[in-house]
Every structure is written in C-alpha cells, then in structure tokens.
Amino acid sequence: MAVKAENMFISQSLLERGIPFDAGIPNLNQETEATMQEARDIVSGKKETKTYHSAGELFAEIDAE
C-alpha cells in the first residue's frame, strides 16, 4: 500500500514538474497578518512588551482589571 502511494506521488510530481500540491503560505485575513507582524516585531525587539516573572503575577494583574 505504501509503495503504491509513493509511486503515485512520484508520478504526479513528474507530471507537475514539482510537488503535486500548493505548498505556499495561505492568504490570511488582515487581522491575522497584523497579528503576525506584531509577533515578528516583538521577537525582533522593535516593539517592547510588558513581561512577567511568573504566571501568578500575570493572573493577579488580569484579576485586578
């Protein structure tokens, strides 16, 4: 069964001259794109964020709101 699937994949790859499916990044809505950019900015240090020393500290702040 696995050999048949591998043969089908290879045959289709040869016909397509590449992988036989779209492996691109999906089109994301504007909110998701903005959120991903914000995450990149946080990771790269372009945007500062508040940090917590423990989960308890975070939850205490949430509860206080």
**pLDDT tens, position by position, 19-29:** 888 877 778 89
**Nearest one of 29, 3, 43 to 11, comparing CA atoms:** 3
Q: Can you tell me the distance from the alpha carbon of 9 to that of 14, in angstroms, rounded to the nearest whole number?
A: 9
Q: Which residues of the chain are modeled with pLDDT < 70? A: none
Q: Can you tell me the distance from the alpha carbon of 4 to that of 2, in angstroms, rounded to the nearest whole number?
A: 5
Locus of tokens 């790859």? 13
| pTM exceeds 0.85 for this model | no
